[in-house]
């Protein structure tokens, strides 16, 4: 797509988000935010708990009023749209799990057609085909006749995404779509969103705590910290070491070697490691986990060599004083943990 | 090309026809049952050619049994629909006009009229008007409680708290009513106590017409909000993101509920447990959460439940019969208990 032709679909102008409650006199405010979303972008909103990610998403989706500034959709202030009009532009997937007795998946997804159907909600043929194609796009065509309470959390989240697809909006906003899901389902859901943004040209904005997955699947990351939102491609932010801001006062850091985030351990001892590429990868991972810095050379407390002895792989630890042989990574780390403090 | 979509199987229409047949059968059975014996084969003759049979039969049929059976059908369906609406708006399987204190509110309205201001309106020629005042008081009482509950539900998110508040409110109303009872005269007291027992047979034809018109009005509003109720099931956030105006939807549904519950309670007294139990039976039979299915389903099952209750209440021999409120409670409570045991995750359903 021509870079210049991509239009701004959403503009946040001096947007202040938050809430005020007179009752408890608590208030929360964040901003001002000046950002734009272009058509077809897939944006991951990342920030720590309580920073206001949900408030931001809900404010953009017009589920919550801004404290100041405004949100513009296609250049027009969003509060100048009617409810129904708005429901045809932005669909929302919340963290709420909809589990209603006797509610069929098909019927739930059909509610996505509500902004288009008549006063009785009668589904026409094109509504039915919209629902069917939404089921197909999230790859759950077999679940249509099932009841919501029969599904797993992962399937349920896909149904909620299908419902948003049935709503047929250019923009889909999702609040923590990967919460409550197991690891494979998290990958699957974000993979799915990525496909939707590429194939269907959907503009997708979602919040998540799954940094590792987000940096692999999102086009753009909005890094929300108390000083403001930093925007950029995941690689830009990694390159400029922006994620450190997120992890201030915490032990997380990005590990280039393993392309992921991991906990930083207190004191670092170094150890040498040698072997095949695969064996070094996994052994190194385990050693880093228990607080060692891994090096190719013989350094620090000693050196580990991974060798194949008659088809069997063993780990030989040479501390200079003595040599020890281990049959598994577990045995090795277990020994190091208690003997090399 | 028409394809069969999941959830829209042919069994829904079949089931509705089946329930209609049962309701019709029970309706006829209700016409046959009573202290004055009319042979079954002569019931139709009485209905079709009233001139050709015993005038006593004609009177019994047209002045008592038909109004009573019609009242059972109308009241049962109205209570069932208002229960369905409450369960949807509060997203709670235990919501219903009686649990949320709406019947109590209607009761307080009637108590204030009958016990409190009764002497003002009890003049002989004012009887017709007093029916209207009674219905207005019950409506107002139901509406006041409903809007109180709605106001609380906007502040308090926890549905269980709202239910408990509803129960407490019911107790507070009983306390006020017992104070009123203490200071009222014997005759009025009796009128009120009989009203609280519930009765399907005490309506004049004029009153039945008033009831019919109110219930049809309530049903029309309900039909207008069927799509809204389907959307409301998904909760506040989704409802709003689907473009639903929640305030107007709630007002519409609450208006319909107070018309339905208020009118039935005004004319028939507080009839419990139909509102809670019937929508669950409908969900169970139709295996659906779609209000376009549950609405007709609840109407038919509500009519069936109250017709059965009326038949049961006439089981004692001779002239005596049981108060219908007691019968619906005895029939409805096991159903509600079964709901609770079957569905232990009540809170997570909401």
- Structural domains in chain A, CATH included, are 3-254 (3.40.50.300), 269-339 (3.30.160)
By Cβ distance, the residue of B7, B227, B235 closest to A107 is B7
pTM assigned to the model: 0.84
Nearest CA in chain B to A113: B242
**3-class secondary structure for chain B?**
CCCCCCCCCCHHHHHHHHHHHHHHHHHHHHHHCCCCCCCHHHHHHHHHCHHHCCHHHHHHHHHHHHHHHHHHHHHHHHHHHHHHHHHHHCCCCCCCCCCCCHHHHHHHHHHHHHHHCHHHHCCHHHHHHHHHHHHHHHHHHHHHHHHHHHHHHHHCCCHHHHHHHHHHHHHHHHHHHHHHHHHCCHHHHHHHHHHHHCCCCCCCHHHHHHHHHHHHHHHHHHHHCHHHHHHHCCCHHHHHHCCCCHHHHHHHHHHHHHHHHHHHHHHHCCCCCHHHHHHHHHHHHHCCCCHHHHHHHHHHHHHHHHHHHHHHHCCCCCCCCCCHHHHHHHHHHHHHHHHHHHCCCHHHHC
pLDDT mean by block of 10 residues, chain B; 350 residues: 49 93 95 81 79 83 90 97 91 79 84 71 48 78 82 71 79 86 80 81 85 95 96 90 88 87 87 92 91 96 96 80 89 86 52
Of B5, B6, B243, the CB nearest to A115: B243
How far apart, in whole angstroms, are the C-alpha atoms of residue B166 and residue B153?
11
- The interface pTM score, or ipTM, of the predicted complex is 0.82
- Residues A211/A46, Cβ–Cβ less than 8 Å: yes
pLDDT for B118 equals 56
Domain B11-321+329-349: CATH superfamily, name plus number:
ABC transporter involved in vitamin B12 uptake, BtuC (1.10.3470.10)
* The two three-digit tokens of residue B222, written as one number: 């309900």
By residue count, chain B amounts to 350
Sequence-distant contacts of B12-18: CB under 8 A, at least 24 apart: B12/B286, B12/B288, B12/B293, B15/B285, B15/B286, B15/B297, B16/B296, B16/B297, B16/B300
Q: Which helix (H) or strand (E) holds A339?
A: helix A329-339
Q: Residue A101: which of B235, B290, B349 has the nearest Cβ?
A: B349
Q: Which residues contact A270 (CB under 8 A, 6 or more apart)?
A: A292, A293, A294, A295, A299, A300, A301
* Chain B residues close to A73, C-beta within 8 Å: none
Q: Where are the domains of chain B?
A: 11-321+329-349
| Least Cα separation, residue A182 to chain B (angstroms) | 21
Q: Which of B216, B169, B200, B219 is nearest to B310 (CA)?
A: B200
pLDDT tens, chain A, 341 aa long: 445 556 889 999 999 998 776 666 667 889 899 999 999 999 999 998 889 999 999 999 999 889 999 999 999 999 899 999 999 999 999 988 777 778 899 999 999 999 999 999 899 999 999 999 999 998 899 999 999 888 988 899 999 999 999 999 999 999 999 988 888 888 888 999 999 999 999 999 999 998 888 888 999 999 999 889 999 999 998 888 888 777 765 666 777 766 777 666 655 678 888 888 888 888 888 888 887 888 766 667 788 889 888 888 899 988 877 888 999 999 888 888 877 65
Q: For strands A42-47 and A269-274, give the pairing.
A: unpaired
Q: Does A126 touch chain B (CB under 8 A)?
A: no
B-facing residues of A in 138-177 (CB < 8 A) are 144-145, 167
| CA-based nearest distance A26→chain B, Å | 16
CA dist A63 and B170 (Å) reads 35
**Predicted local distance difference test score (pLDDT) of residue B349:** 39
- Within 10 angstroms of residue A327's Cβ, the number of other Cβ atoms is 11
Class of residue A119 by CB neighbours under 10 A (exposed 0-12, middle 13-18, buried 19+): exposed
Which pLDDT value is given to residue A22? 62
- A21 C-beta neighbours (distance < 10 Å), count: 9
Residue B5: its pLDDT value, please? Answer: 55
Q: Give the side-chain half-sphere CA count within 13 A for A10.
A: 30
Which chain B residues have a beta carbon less than 8 Å from that of A88?
Answer: 243
> How long, in residues, is chain A?
341
Q: Quote the pLDDT of residue B43.
A: 78
Is B243 within 8 Å of A87 when comparing Cβ atoms? yes
CA A31 to chain centre: 23
- How far apart CA A88 and CA A273 sit, in angstroms, is 58
Contacts with A161 from chain B: Cβ below 8 Å = none
Q: What is the pLDDT of residues B201-221, one digit of tens each?
A: 878 888 899 899 999 999 999
> What pLDDT is stored for residue B346 in this prediction?
43
Asked if the Cβ–Cβ distance from A145 to B287 is below 8 Å, we say no
Among B40, B34, B42, B39, residue whose Cα is nearest residue B66: B34
| Nearest Cα to Cα of residue A190 among A151, A158, A152, A238 | A158
Q: For residues B335 and B332, what is the distance between their CA atoms, to the nearest angstrom?
A: 5
3-state secondary structure of A132: helix
Nearest to A111 among B7, B223, B230 (CB): B230
Distance from chain centroid for Cα A276? 33
Residue A313 bridge partners (DSSP)? A308
CB A66 within 8 Å of CB A17: yes
Sign of the dihedral through C-alpha A193, A194, A199, A204: positive
Q: For an interface test with A, give the residue of B233, B236, B243 to mutate (most A CBs within 10 A).
A: B243
Tell if the CB–CB gap between B288 and A104 is shorter than 8 Å: yes
pLDDT 10s digits, A261-297: 766 665 567 888 888 888 888 888 888 888 788 876 6
Q: Tokens for A2?
A: 């021509």
B25 close to A (CB below 8 A): no
Nearest CA in chain B to A119: B227
Cβ atoms of residues B272 and B332 within 8 Å = yes
């Amino acid at each position: 797509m021509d870079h210049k032709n991509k239009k701004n679909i959403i503009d946040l102008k001096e947007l202040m988000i938050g809430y005020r409650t007179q009752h408890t006199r608590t208030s929360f405010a964040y901003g001002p935010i000046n950002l734009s979303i272009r058509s077809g972008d897939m944006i991951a909103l990342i920030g720590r708990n309580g920073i206001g990610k949900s408030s931001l998403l809900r404010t953009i989706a017009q589920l919550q009023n801004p404290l100041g500034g405004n949100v513009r959709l296609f250049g027009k202030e969003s509060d100048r749209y009617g409810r129904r009009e708005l429901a045809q532009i932005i669909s929302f997937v919340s963290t709420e799990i909809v589990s209603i007795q006797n509610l069929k998946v098909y019927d739930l997804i059909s509610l996505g057609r509500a902004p288009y159907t008549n006063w009785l909600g009668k589904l026409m043929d094109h509504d039915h085909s919209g629902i069917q194609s939404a089921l197909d796009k999230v790859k759950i065509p077999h679940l249509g006749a099932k009841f919501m309470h029969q599904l797993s959390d992962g399937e349920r989240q896909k149904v909620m995404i299908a419902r948003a697809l049935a709503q047929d909006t250019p923009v889909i906003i999702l609040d923590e779509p990967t919460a409550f899901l197991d690891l494979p389902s998290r990958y699957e859901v974000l993979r799915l969103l990525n496909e939707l943004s590429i194939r269907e040209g959907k503009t997708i904005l979602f919040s998540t705590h799954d940094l590792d997955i987000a940096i692999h699947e999102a086009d753009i990351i909005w890094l929300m910290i108390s000083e403001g939102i930093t925007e950029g491609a995941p690689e830009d932010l990694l390159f400029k070491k922006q994620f450190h801001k997120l992890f201030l006062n915490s032990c997380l850091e990005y590990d280039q070697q393993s392309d992921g985030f991991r906990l930083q351990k207190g004191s670092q001892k170094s150890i040498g490691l040698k072997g095949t590429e695969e064996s070094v990868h996994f052994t190194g991972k385990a050693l880093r986990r228990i607080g060692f810095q891994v090096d190719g050379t013989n350094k620090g407390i000693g050196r580990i060599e991974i060798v194949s002895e008659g088809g069997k792989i063993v780990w030989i630890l040479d501390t200079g004083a003595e040599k020890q042989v281990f049959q598994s990574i577990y045995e090795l780390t277990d020994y190091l943990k208690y003997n090399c403090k | 090309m028409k394809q069969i979509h999941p959830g829209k199987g042919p069994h829904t229409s079949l089931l509705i026809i089946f329930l209609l047949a049962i309701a019709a059968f029970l309706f006829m059975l209700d016409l046959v049952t009573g202290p004055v014996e009319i042979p079954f084969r002569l019931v139709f003759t009485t209905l079709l050619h009233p001139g050709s049979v015993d005038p006593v039969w004609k009177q019994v049929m047209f002045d008592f049994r038909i109004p009573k059976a019609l009242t059972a059908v109308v009241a049962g369906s109205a209570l069932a629909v208002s229960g369905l609406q409450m369960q949807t708006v509060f997203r709670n399987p235990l919501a219903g006009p009686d649990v949320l204190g709406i019947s109590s509110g209607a009761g307080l309205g009637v108590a204030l009229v009958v016990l409190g201001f009764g002497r003002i309106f009890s003049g002989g020629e004012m009887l017709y008007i007093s029916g209207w005042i009674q219905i207005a008081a019950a409506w107002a009482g139901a509406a006041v409680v409903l809007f109180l509950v709605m106001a609380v539900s906007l502040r308090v998110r926890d549905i269980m708290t709202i239910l408990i508040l509803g129960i407490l409110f019911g107790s507070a109303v009983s306390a006020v009513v017992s104070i009123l009872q203490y200071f009222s005269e014997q005759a009025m007291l009796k009128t009120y106590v009989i009203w609280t027992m519930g009765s399907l047979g005490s309506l004049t034809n004029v009153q039945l017409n008033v009831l019919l018109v109110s219930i049809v009005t309530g049903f029309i509003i309900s039909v207008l909000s069927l799509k809204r109720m389907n959307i409301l099931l998904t909760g506040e956030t989704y409802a709003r993101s689907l473009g639903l105006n929640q305030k107007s939807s709630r007002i519409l549904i609450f208006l319909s509920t107070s018309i339905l519950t208020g009118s039935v309670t005004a004319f028939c007294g507080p009839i419990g447990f139909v509102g809670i139990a019937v929508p669950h039976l409908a969900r169970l039979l139709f295996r659906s959460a779609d209000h376009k299915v549950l609405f007709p389903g609840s109407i038919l099952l509500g009519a069936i439940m109250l017709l059965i209750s009326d038949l049961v209440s006439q089981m004692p021999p001779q002239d005596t019969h049981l108060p219908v409120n007691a019968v619906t409670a005895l029939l409805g409570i096991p159903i509600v208990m079964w709901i609770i045991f079957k569905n232990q995750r009540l809170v997570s359903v909401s």
